């Protein structure tokens, strides 16, 4: 990230507030560094498999298919037949912004985003063994999305009969190319591991128009394009506590990401009264690295007649995140980012809960769940924490094919109270479909 002129949602918020005599850019400075915004706030893990997602995104103790590469590779040991899986997802994101100064709402706007994509591909292959199980798997999964929309309109800026309008769109994501395997080391205990190569792209666009009472119109068109590459690894254990209860434990190593960024900002100032137009283009290039911290997971699942229930817990200490520009030209921005990581980020515990009920005569499974994935920033910046409800259906087709559907609904809300109250609310609706074929 060049760090020179990216607006960003909160950077925009403060720039608008500054026009009305608000000048303290506390939270805004954080997300002038794009990587922090993406890795900490905008990047969310909704899961990769419709069955797990329909059950609240639980997969540490369940998920005995190719998706175990992402949730818990030890569960691969339960795959008994060659299985191919493919998944798709549809996103509908809604943003609403509000600004309240002196008890009156002066700003109300927003923006929407809609995307449909391939979400997952995997192949799990059991190896014949004399005793126990040995399974290898390969997969490609979209594990994070950088999709975001933001809109703001502010009239009568500072009482000068001006108007400001801005639109922000960001699309992209991070993929894991995975290879892993699992083996039974006892009748009740399985271990597994997976290596991940991460690749991704991100495209950020910002367009704004600011008019003042002096017939001066300023427009900005900004484009930032990034390419990511990185590595990580995941180790897991699966243990059958009893015939009806199982447990899963995972440790994900720090994720090492490097990014190449190219950025362009076009600025036009049009003086309507004198027909004078000033035009400028700024271009920038930067490379940086981001290190995500360890992630520890623990899950329990129970099977009771036709029902399965599951609960997962994941712990991440985001204060251990690291950020580094490759060029000393950005030392000041890097130091600010590192200070923010230490001063404002927190550790979080995400909770996933879900269950399913099988109707064997109909070849149908009903699912529902809930998960809470807290934003890892100081609570003073959070109006509503990130949480979602889920629902799903599973179909068994001719004993060799499965179709799983899942729906996710929820969101979160950010705020800044310095000195007015500024809120940005994000609502998410996602649909997932996963097809499985067993040989």
Give pLDDT tens digits for 93-146: 998 887 765 554 456 777 888 999 999 999 999 999 888 899 999 999 999 888
Q: If you average pLDDT over each of 12-16, 285-289, 326-330, which comes out highest?
A: 285-289
By mean pLDDT, which of 98-102, 247-251, 256-260, 431-435 is the weakest?
98-102
Q: What is the mean pLDDT of the chain?
A: 85
- In 146-254 the beta strands, taken as DSSP E runs, fall at 148-155, 163-184, 189-211, 216-242, 245-252
What does pTM read for this prediction?
0.87
- Please list, in sequence order, all residues whose beta carbon lies within 8 angstroms of the beta carbon of residue 213, skipping any fewer than 6 positions away: 160, 161, 162
Whose tokens are 């609570």? That residue is 379
Q: Say how far residue 184 (Cα) sits from the centre of its chain.
A: 33
Nearest to 372 by CA among 88, 58, 62, 35: 58
Domain assignment of residue 3, yes or no: no
CB crowding 296-306: b at 16 or more within 10 Å, else e? ebebbbbeeee
Residue 19's CATH number: 2.40.160.60
Q: Is 93 domain-assigned? A: yes
The predicted model gives 277-285 an average pLDDT of 88
pLDDT score of 153: 76
* 352, part of any domain: yes
Outline where 294-397 has alpha helix (H).
Answer: 331-344
DSSP 329-344: GGHHHHHHHHHHHHHH
Q: Model confidence at 327, in pLDDT bands (50, 70, 90)?
A: confident
DSSP 30: G
Band (pLDDT 50/70/90 cuts) for residue 148 is confident
Q: How confident is the model at residue 420 (pLDDT cuts 50, 70, 90)?
A: low
Does residue 81 fall inside a structural domain? yes
pLDDT (0 to 100) of residue 150: 80
Q: Is position 369 within any domain?
A: yes
Half-sphere exposure of 227 (CA within 13 A, CB side): 3
46: closest CA among 75, 24, 67?
A: 67
**DSSP label at 44?**
B
Q: Taking a C-beta distance cutoff of 8 angstroms, is the pair 257, 291 a contact?
A: yes
What's the pLDDT at 155? 67
Q: What is the pLDDT of residue 38?
A: 66
Q: How many CA atoms lie within 13 A of 195 on its CB side?
A: 2
Structural domain includes residue 328: yes
Least confident of 178-182, 185-189, 206-210: 206-210
- pLDDT average, residue stretch 241-257: 96
Distance between start and end Cα atoms, the chain: 47
Name the residue with higher pLDDT: 279 or 244.
Answer: 244
CB contact burial 94-133 (16+ within 10 A = b; e otherwise): bbbbbbebeeeebbebbbebeeeeebbbbebbbeeeeeeb
Residues 6+ apart with CB under 8 A from 104: none
Please write the tens of the pLDDT for every residue from 24-82: 233 333 344 556 666 666 666 778 999 999 999 999 998 889 999 999 999 999 999 99
Residue 37 has what DSSP assignment?
I
Closest CA to 107 of 151, 150, 154: 154
pLDDT digits (tens, 9 = 90+) for 199-222: 999 898 989 888 876 678 889 999
Number of domains making up the chain: 1
Task: Identify the weakest region by mean pLDDT among 134-148, 216-230, 412-426.
Answer: 412-426
CB–CB of 390/407 below 8 Å?
yes
404, 354 in Cβ contact below 8 A? no
- Name 224's Cβ contacts closer than 8 Å, sequence gap at least 6: 1, 6, 34, 202, 203, 204, 205, 261, 262, 263, 264
Task: Report yes or no on 1 lying in a domain.
Answer: no
The predicted pLDDT at position 15 comes to 35
Q: HSE (CB half, 13 Å, CA atoms) of 169? A: 10
Domain that holds residue 19: 9-438
281 located within any domain: yes
In this predicted structure, the answer to whether residue 6 has a pLDDT above a threshold of 60 is no
């Amino acid at each position: 990230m060049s760090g020179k002129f990216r607006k960003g949602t909160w950077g925009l918020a403060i720039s608008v507030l500054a026009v009305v005599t608000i000048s303290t850019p506390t939270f805004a400075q954080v997300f002038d560094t794009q990587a922090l915004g993406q890795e900490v706030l905008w990047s969310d893990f909704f899961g990769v498999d419709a069955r797990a997602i329909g059950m609240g995104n639980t997969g540490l103790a369940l998920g005995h298919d190719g998706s175990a590469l992402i949730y818990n590779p030890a569960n691969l040991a339960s795959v008994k037949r060659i299985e191919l899986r493919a998944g798709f997802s549809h996103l509908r994101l809604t943003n609403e912004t509000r600004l309240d100064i002196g008890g009156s709402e002066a700003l109300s706007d927003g923006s929407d985003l809609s995307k449909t994509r391939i979400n997952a591909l995997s192949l799990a292959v059991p190896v014949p063994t004399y005793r126990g199980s040995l399974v290898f798997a390969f997969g490609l999964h979209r594990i994070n999305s950088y999709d975001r929309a933001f809109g703001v309109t502010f009239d009568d800026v500072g009482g000068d009969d001006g108007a400001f309008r801005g639109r922000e769109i960001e699309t992209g994501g991070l993929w894991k190319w995975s290879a892993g395997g699992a083996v039974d080391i006892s009748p009740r205990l399985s271990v597994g591991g997976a290596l991940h190569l991460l690749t991704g792209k991100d495209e950020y666009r910002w367009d704004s128009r600011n008019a003042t009472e002096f017939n001066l119109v300023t427009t900005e068109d900004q484009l930032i394009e990034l390419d990511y590459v990185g590595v990580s690894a995941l180790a897991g254990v699966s243990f059958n506590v009893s015939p009806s209860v199982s447990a899963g434990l995972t440790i994900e190593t720090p994720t090492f990401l490097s990014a190449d960024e190219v950025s362009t900002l076009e600025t036009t100032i049009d003086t309507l009264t004198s027909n004078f137009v000033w035009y400028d283009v700024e271009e920038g290039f930067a490379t940086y690295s981001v290190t995500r911290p360890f992630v520890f997971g623990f899950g329990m699942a129970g099977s009771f007649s036709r029902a399965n229930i599951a609960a997962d817990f994941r712990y991440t200490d985001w204060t251990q995140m690291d950020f580094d520009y490759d060029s000393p030209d950005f030392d000041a921005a890097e130091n600010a980012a590192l200070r923010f990581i230490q001063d404002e980020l927190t550790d979080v515990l995400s909770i996933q809960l879900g269950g399913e009920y099988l109707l064997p005569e109909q070849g149908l499974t009903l699912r529902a769940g809930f998960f809470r994935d807290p934003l890892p920033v100081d609570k003073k910046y959070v109006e509503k924490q990130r949480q979602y409800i889920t629902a799903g259906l599973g179909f068994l087709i001719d004993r060799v094919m499965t179709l799983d559907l899942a729906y996710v609904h929820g969101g979160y809300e950010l705020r800044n109270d310095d000195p007015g109250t500024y809120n940005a609310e994000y609502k998410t609706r996602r649909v997932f479909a996963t097809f499985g074929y067993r040989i």
